[in-house]
Amino acid sequence: MEAAYISAFAALAGTAIGGLTSFATSWTTQQAQARAQRLAAERDSRAALFGRFLDEAAKLYADALQNRRDDMSGLIGIYALTNRIRLMSTEPVVESADTVCRIIIETYLAPNMTLEEMRTNWIDKHIDPLRDFSEACRRELQTFGRF
């Protein structure tokens, strides 16, 4: 009779171990998928925020090159985006966003540029006020995996 008990116990132990292994595998896979989804969602959220900032900054910079303004109420949108970036991004991205805002404000306060001066800055001097911000964003997004 002891042999029957041993066989029954071995069968129950094998079933339990198989069930636990299946559960552990499923749980691990599900956790990995959930983490990958969270990272993808975070990456997409940041990419959208960075894109909105770039769009707003490009519009304001183009306007600042052509117009001199003392009223800075048009900068509220980019100010809000900068602070949203400050909430969720790394220090290099935040510093780059702050630099872009300073450049835009300084450009608004400076005399208007002619097309020749713009060409000189863009082509000859390779001045792009959004480049450092874009590169910092790309580096940050790469930490979430391939983008």
The per-residue pLDDT for range 104-136, each reduced to its tens digit, is 998 888 888 777 777 776 666 667 889 999 999
For residue 118, what are the domain limits?
Answer: 2-142
pLDDT tens for residues 71-97? 778 889 999 999 999 999 999 999 999
pLDDT of residue 147: 45
Residue 9 inside a domain? The answer is yes
- Per the structure, the count of domains in the chain is 1
Run of H or E residues at 84: helix 76-88
How many DSSP H helices and E strands does the chain contain?
Answer: 5, 0
Residue 34 inside a domain? The answer is yes
Residue 147 inside a domain? The answer is no
